[in-house]
Amino acid sequence: MAEQFSYTTRMDIKYDHFEVIDIPKMVEETKDKWFNQTLTKVNESVVRVGIVEGEYHWHKHDTEDEFFFVLSGKLFIDLENETIELNPHQGYTVSKGVVHRTRAPKKTVMLMVEPDTIVPTGSSTN
C-alpha cells in the first residue's frame, strides 16, 4: 500500500505552450501549506511550481535528477551529510539516487525542473 502524505500535488499540465504563466496569481490563490503544480512540459521534462511551508519527507528518486530554483522565501535541502540553504534566485540540483528532503521555514515559492516521469514523492526512506 502506498504511503499517504498531506501534500497537494497536481501532475496535470496547467499551461500549454504559448500561454502566459502567472506565478503571483497562483501564490495568491493557494491556501495549502505544501502545494505543487505542473506548469508546462518542455520536451521530456516538466516545470513545476512549489508553494511550500514546512517539511517534506525524506525520499529519493532512483532514476531522475531534480532541480530546485527559489523565487521567494527560503528553502533548505537536507542531504544525508549536509544541508543546502537556498535564498531567492538560487538553485540546486539533487542527483538521482541521493536521499534528500526539502524544508521551508516560511512560505517559499520555487520552481522545479525534472523529467516528466518523476514521481514527486519519490521512494520513501522511512
**Residue 126 within a domain:** no
- Evaluate if pTM is beyond 0.85: yes
State the residue range of the domain holding 15: 8-116
**Residue 61 within a domain:** yes
Q: Is the pLDDT confidence value at 2 over 60?
A: no
**Residue 13 within a domain:** yes
CATH assignment of the domain containing 71: 2.60.120.10
**Residue 124 within a domain:** no
Please state the domain count of the chain: 1
Q: Is the pLDDT confidence value at 19 over 60?
A: yes
- Rounded to 5 degrees, φ, ψ at 24 are -55, -35
- Where do we find the cell 502566459? 20
Place 116 in a pLDDT band, splitting at 50, 70 and 90.
confident
**Residue 122 within a domain:** no
Q: Could you tell me the CA-to-CA distances from 65 to 32, 72, 91 in Å, in that order?
A: 26, 22, 13
Q: Could you tell me the CA-to-CA distances from 114 to 25, 37, 40, 107, 124 in Å, in that order?
A: 23, 13, 11, 22, 18
CA 21-36-71 angle, 5° bins: 60
52-70 pLDDT, tens per residue? Answer: 999 999 999 999 999 999 9
- Where do we find the cell 539516487? 97
**Residue 103 within a domain:** yes
Question: How many angstroms separate the CA atoms of 56 and 112, rounded?
Answer: 14
Mean pLDDT of 4-21: 88
**Residue 75 within a domain:** yes
